[in-house]
Amino acid sequence: MTSLVFRCQFCERRPDPLTQLSLEKTVRQQEFGTYIDAMPERWLVWHGRGPYGPTRYSCPEHRGDLVAYLREHYGTLGAHPWKRPPYGSQGSGIDTL
Protein backbone atom coordinates (compact mmCIF):
# COMPACT_ATOMS: atom_id res chain seq x y z
CA MET A 1 0.00 0.00 0.00
CA THR A 2 1.50 3.27 -1.07
CA SER A 3 -0.83 6.05 -0.14
CA LEU A 4 1.61 8.65 1.03
CA VAL A 5 3.06 11.04 -1.51
CA PHE A 6 6.41 12.59 -0.83
CA ARG A 7 7.87 15.39 -2.88
CA CYS A 8 11.01 17.42 -2.60
CA GLN A 9 9.82 20.86 -1.57
CA PHE A 10 12.23 22.49 -3.97
CA CYS A 11 11.91 20.53 -7.21
CA GLU A 12 8.81 18.32 -6.82
CA ARG A 13 10.90 15.23 -7.37
CA ARG A 14 9.47 11.93 -6.10
CA PRO A 15 11.52 9.30 -4.26
CA ASP A 16 12.32 5.93 -5.79
CA PRO A 17 10.30 2.96 -4.43
CA LEU A 18 12.84 1.94 -1.80
CA THR A 19 13.32 5.45 -0.52
CA GLN A 20 9.55 5.77 -0.48
CA LEU A 21 9.45 2.90 2.02
CA SER A 22 12.02 4.59 4.21
CA LEU A 23 10.09 7.85 4.10
CA GLU A 24 6.89 6.06 5.07
CA LYS A 25 8.65 4.64 8.11
CA THR A 26 9.79 8.09 9.21
CA VAL A 27 6.18 9.27 9.26
CA ARG A 28 5.55 7.02 12.25
CA GLN A 29 8.48 8.39 14.21
CA GLN A 30 7.71 10.90 16.91
CA GLU A 31 10.72 13.11 16.62
CA PHE A 32 11.11 16.79 17.37
CA GLY A 33 13.53 19.09 15.59
CA THR A 34 15.44 16.20 14.03
CA TYR A 35 17.09 15.55 10.69
CA ILE A 36 16.91 12.04 9.24
CA ASP A 37 18.55 10.57 6.15
CA ALA A 38 16.13 8.38 4.22
CA MET A 39 18.01 5.69 2.33
CA PRO A 40 18.97 4.54 -0.22
CA GLU A 41 18.60 7.77 -2.20
CA ARG A 42 19.50 9.72 0.92
CA TRP A 43 16.66 12.14 1.02
CA LEU A 44 16.69 14.52 3.95
CA VAL A 45 13.72 14.56 6.33
CA TRP A 46 13.14 17.33 8.82
CA HIS A 47 10.91 16.38 11.70
CA GLY A 48 9.79 19.77 12.89
CA ARG A 49 6.68 19.78 15.06
CA GLY A 50 5.54 22.68 17.20
CA PRO A 51 7.55 25.83 16.65
CA TYR A 52 9.76 24.06 14.11
CA GLY A 53 6.90 23.72 11.67
CA PRO A 54 5.73 20.76 9.58
CA THR A 55 7.76 17.78 8.46
CA ARG A 56 9.72 18.69 5.35
CA TYR A 57 11.47 16.62 2.70
CA SER A 58 14.21 17.23 0.17
CA CYS A 59 15.77 15.14 -2.56
CA PRO A 60 19.52 14.46 -2.48
CA GLU A 61 20.27 17.45 -4.68
CA HIS A 62 18.42 19.90 -2.44
CA ARG A 63 19.55 18.79 1.00
CA GLY A 64 21.64 21.91 1.36
CA ASP A 65 18.71 24.07 0.36
CA LEU A 66 16.50 22.48 2.98
CA VAL A 67 19.07 22.94 5.72
CA ALA A 68 19.57 26.57 4.71
CA TYR A 69 15.81 27.12 4.62
CA LEU A 70 15.34 25.67 8.09
CA ARG A 71 18.18 27.66 9.57
CA GLU A 72 16.82 30.85 8.05
CA HIS A 73 13.28 30.30 9.32
CA TYR A 74 13.81 28.46 12.58
CA GLY A 75 17.45 29.07 13.41
CA THR A 76 16.65 31.58 16.12
CA LEU A 77 14.33 29.19 17.95
CA GLY A 78 16.92 26.71 19.12
CA ALA A 79 19.88 24.54 18.29
CA HIS A 80 18.06 21.77 16.45
CA PRO A 81 18.24 23.24 12.91
CA TRP A 82 21.97 23.77 13.33
CA LYS A 83 22.79 20.13 13.88
CA ARG A 84 25.54 18.92 11.57
CA PRO A 85 25.81 15.52 9.86
CA PRO A 86 25.97 12.64 10.31
CA TYR A 87 22.24 12.45 10.90
CA GLY A 88 20.32 9.36 11.91
CA SER A 89 19.26 7.29 8.94
CA GLN A 90 16.15 5.32 8.12
CA GLY A 91 16.21 2.18 6.10
CA SER A 92 18.80 0.47 4.00
CA GLY A 93 16.15 -0.01 1.38
CA ILE A 94 16.37 -3.78 1.56
CA ASP A 95 14.66 -4.42 4.87
CA THR A 96 10.97 -5.17 4.67
CA LEU A 97 8.05 -3.64 6.47
Task: Give the list of residues 6+ apart from residue 54 with CB closer than 8 angstroms, or none.
Answer: 48
Q: How many residues bind Zn ion (CB under 5 A)?
A: 6
Q: Which of residues 1-40 bind Zn ion (CB under 5 A)?
A: 8, 10-11, 13
Answer yes or no: are the C-beta atoms of 8 and 62 closer than 8 Å: yes
Radius of gyration over every alpha carbon of the chain, rounded to an integer in angstroms: 13
CA distance 82 to 75: 7
CB 30 to Zn ion: min, Å:
26
40 prior amide bond cis, ω within 30: yes
Q: Which is nearer to Zn ion, 5 or 94 (CB)?
A: 5
CB 52 to Zn ion: min, Å:
20
**Residue of 21, 45, 59, 66 that binds Zn ion (CB under 5 A):** 59
Q: Which is nearer to Zn ion, 50 or 54 (CB)?
A: 54
Q: What are the residues binding Zn ion (CB under 5 A)?
A: 8, 10-11, 13, 59, 62
